[in-house]
Amino acid sequence: MKHTLSVACTLLKTVMRALPLRPALTALLITPLAALHATEQPATAGRPNVLLLIADDLAVRLGCYGDALAKTPGLDRLAAEGVLFERAYAQGVVCTPSRKSFLSGLSTKVVGAGSDNYLKAHSETMTVSRWFRQHGYQTIGIGKIEHTMDFIDPQGWDLREPGEGGDNRGKTRNFLKASDDAPQDFATVDTRTDTGATMDIVRGERLVSFWRKEWKREKPFFAALGFHTPHLPYDTQQRYIAMHDLARMPLAMTPVDASQPLAHALPFPPFHPPADKQRQAIQGYYAAVSMMDGVVTHVLDYLREQSLLDNTLVIFIADQGYHLGYRGLWCKHSLYPGTLHVPLIVRYPKAAVPGARAAGIVELLDLFPTLTELAGLPSAEGLHGTSFMRLLKEPQGAGKPAAFADDARGGHAVYTKDWAYIERQPVGEYELYNLGADPECFRNLAGKAEHLATQQRQAQQLRHFFPTQRVKAR
């Protein structure tokens, strides 16, 4: 209809110019048709597209985050064209609570720190995809965005697919055990031939197919692509394994002066596999991330080739990080930086300083309000997060005073500019770390006389944010 009216207006203007009519009469004939054409313009005309890329269990082991062994040219380019956030934190320590939180813009103290299906039980809860859909966007979700397809918001998507599958040609699975008699493996690496597509390669192709065949171009799109990678099993192709020298894989080391973990600090008993097994696991992790990076490159190259990228907000995140041997942990689940510190890269075409690094604290639950502000949409009510759009324009500006997280075992954490404070109730365990001197949290300063004032200050912030918890500093 819009195209037909546009052609009709152009044709009528041509005829009017050829006839000896007065200008007033010409305007009288053309104006109503032109006005009708104007009313056909969609309410979202001129708004940017949105592409949300979500990794699973990705630590900040990327080239753009300073990891010299990572092979991630696609994400490095995205960071060079956008803004990299150096202090982004997840609110949940596993997939479900983290995703519940950033999809709804609500803290885990509301949506829960466990794996219950809050969004299904509270269907009135607004989600970011529903908000964009209600405001004229065509929404598509492929892959792992919510925890599983049972967790989706049916009102949030025009098209929602799991994107499962892959080509198993030549696939081998390497089960890595800490010892021969270990009851389970601590890591599993799936390696396919270079022509054997992983699940994430299939998902990337499906998104490109949507843009080619199903996108209604009179609407902007809100597209979310959720990767399996680098969740176990680490899924990759042989060429990506070959990119990472096994002998150079970095083993996690515990300093000799590290504090002993408290009784309930570690979510699982530690694994201490032989060095060669550790290196195989870490190689598989790096290789899987490189494979995912290739999918990111493919997706962004398509948008670039179609001249769509500069009108698309691109956001890359991970639901939480991952430990690769820290204190013997080969998982997430903890309240330490290895779990809570996550990558966040935003390519915002109007950013003042592409390639900048924002040092201020942000939280994943800030995504919802940030995206609505960047897209020029009204703000949703009742969100706990706050927009960090200002940091895209002024990356050196101050971030949030603190980031908060909790787990399903009674643990709570607050991260500020210089300190991390963790406590577990009701068992009464307390941890305090100087992030400047001890960024990985090895030396617990809680209870030391010279740090009691700092500990009390951190505990007060925790009490204010989690008011129902029994929070006090010893």
Give the model confidence (pLDDT) of 429-466 as tens digits: 999 999 999 999 999 999 999 999 999 999 999 999 99
Higher pLDDT, 150 or 243: 243
- Per the document, the length of the chain is 474
Residue in 321, 287, 302, 294 with CA at minimum distance from that of residue 223: 302
Q: What is the pLDDT of residue 43?
A: 58
User: Does the pLDDT of residue 292 top 80, yes or no?
Assistant: yes
Q: Express each pLDDT in 198-231 by its tens digit.
A: 999 999 999 999 999 999 999 999 999 999 999 9
Q: Among the residues of 83-142, which ranges form H helices?
A: 95-104, 108-111, 118-121, 128-134
Average pLDDT over residues 121-146: 97
Higher pLDDT, 31 or 346: 346
Q: What share of the chain is helix, strand, coil (3-state, %, to 5)?
A: 35, 20, 45
Q: What is the pLDDT of residue 117?
A: 92
Give dist(CA 384, CA 398) in Å, integer.
Answer: 18
Decide: helix, strand or coil at residue 215: coil
User: Does the pLDDT of residue 27 top 50, yes or no?
Assistant: no
Please report which helix (H) or strand (E) contains residue 86, including its range. strand 83-89
pLDDT bracket for residue 241 (50, 70, 90): very high
Average pLDDT over residues 140-148: 95
Q: What percent of the chain has pLDDT over 70?
A: 89
pLDDT bracket for residue 350 (50, 70, 90): confident
Please report which helix (H) or strand (E) contains residue 38, including its range. helix 23-39
pLDDT bracket for residue 319 (50, 70, 90): very high
pLDDT bracket for residue 469 (50, 70, 90): low
User: Does the pLDDT of residue 188 top 90, yes or no?
Assistant: yes
Q: Express each pLDDT in 54-81 by its tens digit.
A: 999 999 999 999 999 999 999 999 999 9
Give dist(CA 93, CA 319) in Å, integer.
Answer: 9
Mean pLDDT of the residues in the chain = 90
User: Does the pLDDT of residue 4 top 80, yes or no?
Assistant: no
pLDDT bracket for residue 355 (50, 70, 90): very high
* Residue 246: DSSP 8-state: G
Please report which helix (H) or strand (E) contains residue 282, including its range. helix 275-305
Q: Express each pLDDT in 385-410 by its tens digit.
A: 999 999 999 999 999 999 999 999 99
Average pLDDT over residues 174-187: 92
Residue in 349, 364, 225 with CA at minimum distance from that of residue 292: 225
C-beta separation of 367 from 385 below 8 A: yes
Range of weakest confidence among 136-140, 177-181, 207-211: 177-181
* Residue 377: DSSP 8-state: P
Residue in 98, 105, 110 with CA at minimum distance from that of residue 130: 105
Q: What is the pLDDT of residue 181?
A: 87
User: Does the pLDDT of residue 3 top 80, yes or no?
Assistant: no
Q: Tokens 């009216």 appear where? A: 5
Please report which helix (H) or strand (E) contains residue 460, including its range. helix 452-465
pLDDT bracket for residue 468 (50, 70, 90): low
Q: What is the pTM of this model?
A: 0.90
User: Does the pLDDT of residue 133 top 70, yes or no?
Assistant: yes
Buried b / exposed e over 227-243, threshold 16 CB at 10 Å, is: bbbbbbbbbbbbbbbee
Give dist(CA 127, CA 100) in Å, integer.
Answer: 9
